[in-house]
Amino acid sequence: MSAWFDSEQVITPLEAFATLPDWLAAGMNGTRVKESLERHLTKGKEGAEGVEGPPRLLSCTPERLRAKGEEWLGDL
């Protein structure tokens, strides 16, 4: 069975989308997401009464990341 399309014209141009660009893959880098969240969590925040220091992020598993304007949104 032969294909009804020329793979050179259809498949080859799609190869550019085979890997994510660095800026998009960054959202899947757990260390990078954790560091970013910690920076935003601790900015100008004080700990609760009886607790030393600002809040700490203990763990994070970002899921369903999506870009909205200049921001990344995700379910934690």
Q: What tens digit of pLDDT does each residue of 55-71 get?
A: 777 777 777 878 788 77
Confidence bin at 49 (pLDDT 50/70/90)? low
Which is more confidently placed, 4 or 50?
4
Compute the mean pLDDT over every residue in the chain, rounded to the nearest whole number: 75
Using DSSP, state whether 46 is helix, strand or coil: coil
Using DSSP, state whether 64 is helix, strand or coil: strand
5-18: pLDDT as tens digits: 777 788 888 888 88
Q: Which two tokens stand for residue 39?
A: 């920076």
pLDDT surpassing 70 at residue 2: no
pLDDT surpassing 70 at residue 48: no
* Rounded CA separation 32/27 (Å): 8
